[in-house]
């Protein structure tokens, strides 16, 4: 299994992930602003079947994907330094849905998701704020996303993002702290350090997920964990 992560996640979390698969750390320079320059969910969108990547993903990282037998499809738009070019790949794709600010979604993502129900949300940093789970369940740290998904009769838990670490920002977002592989939810941090941690734990337990906390500290928004293979 290959795990794509931000190079700057806490060291202990990096080591713990290495027990589950090969970790590919992402680092970019002078493509987008430093606070999100290593965030996988800025450069990649995973559908399960496809890994859709920004065409200006560093060449050495593309080579690492190929060397590790990770198939990918290049999108059409490059990641840039300002919105909306920072968010065109920050979509959530599930078995049944494409969820994003559809006004900015890269057209390659739309093309590959033509068979899915598209749900528009105003929050373009959708993946940062939304953790998709099985059986059309979700956890989000954005009230607008929560209201939209509830209106679509989906099972959603809202959590307050206060206290989530994102360097250079007041706080991060819940989706960016997590990654899902089969029946495990990997979290960059400890739910005991998160004010809404008990709500998250109960929701994930009810959904029959095992929680893997990757280090004993406050939740860290590293731009999601992407599992392939």
Domain 2-162 bears CATH identifier 3.75.10.10: yes
* Tokens representing residue 42 in the block: 């800025």
How large a percentage of the chain has pLDDT more than 70?
A: 100
- In the block, residue with structure tokens 């979604």: 105
Q: What residue spans of the chain are helical by DSSP H?
A: 11-17, 40-43, 59-67, 107-112, 126-129, 143-151, 197-206
Q: How confident is the model at residue 48 (pLDDT cuts 50, 70, 90)?
A: confident
Q: Is the pLDDT of residue 111 over 90?
A: yes
Residue pair 19/198 in contact (Cβ under 8 Å)? The answer is no
Rounded Cα gap, residues 164 and 188, in angstroms: 10
Q: Is the pLDDT of residue 50 over 90?
A: no
- In the block, residue with structure tokens 């731009």: 223
Is the link from the previous residue into 84 a cis peptide, with omega within 30 of 0? Answer: yes
Q: How confident is the model at residue 93 (pLDDT cuts 50, 70, 90)?
A: very high
Those residues whose C-beta lies under 8 Å from the C-beta of residue 32, and which sit 6 or more positions away, are 42, 79, 80, 81, 85, 86
Residue 41: helix, strand or coil by DSSP? helix
Q: Is the pLDDT of residue 28 over 90?
A: yes
Q: Is the pLDDT of residue 47 over 90?
A: no
Residue-wise pLDDT tens digits, 166-189: 998 999 999 999 999 999 999 999
Q: What is the structure's pLDDT at 164? A: 98
Classify residue 165 by its DSSP letter.
B
Q: Is the pLDDT of residue 161 over 80?
A: yes
Please state, rounded to an integer, the average pLDDT across all residues of the chain: 97
Alpha-carbon dihedral 32, 35, 37, 42, rounded to 10 degrees: -90
Residue-wise pLDDT tens digits, 64-74: 999 999 999 99
Mean pLDDT of 194-207: 98
Classify residue 102 by its DSSP letter.
T
- In the block, residue with structure tokens 């941090």: 189
Domain boundaries in the chain?
2-162
Rounded Cα gap, residues 2 and 18, in angstroms: 10
């Amino acid at each position: 299994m290959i795990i794509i992560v931000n190079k700057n996640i806490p060291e202990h979390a990096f080591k713990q992930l290495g027990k589950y698969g090969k970790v590919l750390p992402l680092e970019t320079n002078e493509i987008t602003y430093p606070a999100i320059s290593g965030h996988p969910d800025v450069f990649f969108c995973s559908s399960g079947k496809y890994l859709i990547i920004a065409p200006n993903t560093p060449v050495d990282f593309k080579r690492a994907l190929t060397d590790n037998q990770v198939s990918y499809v290049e999108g059409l738009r490059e990641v840039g330094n300002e919105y909306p070019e920072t968010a065109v790949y920050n979509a959530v794709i599930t078995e049944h849905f494409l969820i994003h600010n559809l006004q900015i979604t890269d057209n390659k993502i739309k093309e590959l998701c033509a068979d899915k129900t598209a749900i528009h949300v105003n929050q373009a940093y959708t993946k940062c704020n939304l953790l998709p789970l099985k059986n059309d369940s979700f956890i989000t740290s954005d009230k607008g996303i929560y209201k939209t998904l509830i209106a679509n009769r989906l099972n959603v838990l809202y959590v307050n993002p206060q206290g989530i670490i994102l360097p250079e920002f007041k706080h991060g977002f819940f989706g960016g702290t997590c990654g899902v592989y089969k029946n495990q939810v990997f979290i960059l941090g400890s739910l005991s350090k998160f004010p809404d941690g008990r709500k998250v734990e109960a929701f994930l337990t009810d959904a029959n997920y095992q929680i893997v906390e990757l280090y004993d500290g406050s939740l860290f928004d590293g731009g999601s964990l992407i599992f392939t293979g």
